Amino acid sequence: MAFLLLLADIESKSWVKQLKIHEPQLDLRLWPNTGPVEEIDFVLAWRPPPGELARYPKLRCIASLGAGVDHLLRDPDLPAAVPVTRVVDASMAQSMSEYVVMAVLNWCRHMPRYARQQQERRWQVHVPRQASSTGVGIMGLGQLGGAAARHLVALGFDVAGWSTGPKQIAGVRSYIGEAQLGAFLGRTDILVCLLPLTERTRGILDARLFAGVRPGAYLINCARGEHLQEADLLAALDSGQLAGACLDVFVTEPLPPEHPFWRHPSITVTPHTASLTHPRAVVPRLIENYRRVMAGLAPLDQIDRLRGY
């Protein structure tokens, strides 16, 4: 009945503390010191090495430490019959909403330009973009995209979302599937990507998509770096079809020092920080799931393995 914490590049101290607070009797193992592999029932993982999760023959649940599960599903040896769960948490949705609102307002109030002007001690006014006449299009209207949409509606933006199935969110126009993608893009001044990374969404932020948004649009990608065709973004910025981008996620993280995004005058880079998972917030739900699994019940917040999210 052991619980394995398998965090490849995240500090485990605060996870251990919270897990012990909420389940003092927990038989907690810290990877790579797993003990006998057949004793592991439950694993909380972030970016495990490929093949690693196939080593535990009695595994009953694989919990993603994040909202995304692409870091697990990319493993061809991930045990097929073991349920996979992800983080669904209100504080995460709040934090993502704050990031999206920050990036949208920064753009509408010309903050990147003013930052450059300040370096030059140059006093020049740019008329703010008005919320009511700014079309924000959110790709992915799930836990995070839906929350961000509500915040932007409250600020008076003209908000639409794109998803696989229809959504009913007050003040948000819902577009679905490939057939409505063109109409969704055609009303978009600020494009926000909050899709999961799946085989259908990998590379979706490409030249074809950028050609469909309103000229001079702004891109905010806070989902995964692999959604974006990086060369297509640079070309769209060169041509003026896109006027700027705020990027939180990258194909290679940390973003290598020589990467052109670092010094591009129209790109804002943040280090995958839009919405972090806080152990204090999510451990109660993890322990609830651990107890459910130990009692023979299905865990909550399971993903659909076929859909990929």
Which residue ranges make up the site for ligand NAP (CB under 6 A)?
66-68, 140-145, 162-165, 194-198, 200-201, 222-224, 248-249, 272, 274-275, 309
Catalytic residue among 29, 224, 227, 285: 224
CA distance 266 to 41: 48
124: its two tokens:
């020049």
Q: Is 200 helix (H, G, I), strand (E, B) or coil?
A: coil
Q: Note whether 277 binds ligand GLV by CB under 6 A.
A: yes
CA distance 131 to 152: 9
Which residue is nearest to ligand NAP, using beta carbons? 142
Q: Phi/psi of residue 295, each to 5°?
A: -90, 5
* 74 flagged as catalytic: no
DSSP label of 261: G
140 binds, among ligand NAP, ligand GLV, none (CB under 5 to 8 A by kind): ligand NAP
Residue 230 host element (H or E): helix 230-239
134 binds, among ligand NAP, ligand GLV, none (CB under 5 to 8 A by kind): none
Q: Decide whether 48 or 140 has the Cβ nearer to ligand NAP.
A: 140
Contacts of the segment 256-260: beta carbons below 8 A, 24+ positions apart: 260/234
Binding mask 185-214 for ligand GLV (x = CB under 6 A): ------------------------------
Q: Decide whether 112 or 142 has the Cβ nearer to ligand GLV.
A: 142
Q: Are 138 and 103 in contact (CB under 8 A)?
A: no
Instruction: Starting at the earlier edge strand, list the strands of the sheet with 190-193.
Output: 172-176, 158-163, 135-139, 190-193, 217-221, 242-247, 267-269
Sole window of 63-71, 95-103, 124-132, 205-213 interacting with ligand GLV (rule: CB under 6 A): 63-71
Of the candidate residues 45, 59, 67, 195, the single one contacting ligand GLV (CB under 6 A)? 67
Residues 85-114 that bind ligand GLV (CB under 6 A): 87
Q: Note whether 66 binds ligand GLV by CB under 6 A.
A: yes
Q: Which residues bind ligand GLV (CB under 6 A)?
A: 66-68, 87, 277
